[in-house]
Amino acid sequence: MNAKEGDYVDHKDHNTLNNRKNNLNCTTQSINMMNRKGANKNNKAGERNVTLVKKNGKPHWLVQFWINEKSVIFEKYPFEEKDRAIKLAKKLRKYIFDDILTDGFTELK
């Protein structure tokens, strides 16, 4: 692995004992933080990148990612459609981490 100073080595399968070259990705801290498992303990949806927001007393779900240190909201769903929000978040994570990062990109443009 040709990691430079300041680079992070990310395990694609999240198994830190699996140090085979095809499982490692040289990346930035920003990407490494995005590619982690599980939702935060205080996450109401139980799924990463899906956030419950109450605006004007009316709750709704946001599918939101941090990309290049900026919050990007992809979609907003009514409170009753949490399953659709979760489905989109999973699809976007698969696209970002399986399609973009495995092709050698280390930062999203």
pTM: 0.67
Which domains are delineated in the chain? 8-103 (3.30.160)
Q: What percent of the chain has pLDDT over 90?
A: 32
pLDDT of residue 106: 46
- Reported as type and span, the H/E element at residue 63 is strand 58-67
CA atoms within 13 A on the CB side of 63: 18
CA angle 86, 56, 61 (to 5 degrees): 0
Cα–Cα distance, 29 to 59 (Å, whole number): 32
- The pLDDT tens digits for 55-105 are 888 999 999 987 777 888 999 999 999 999 999 999 998 887 766 555 444
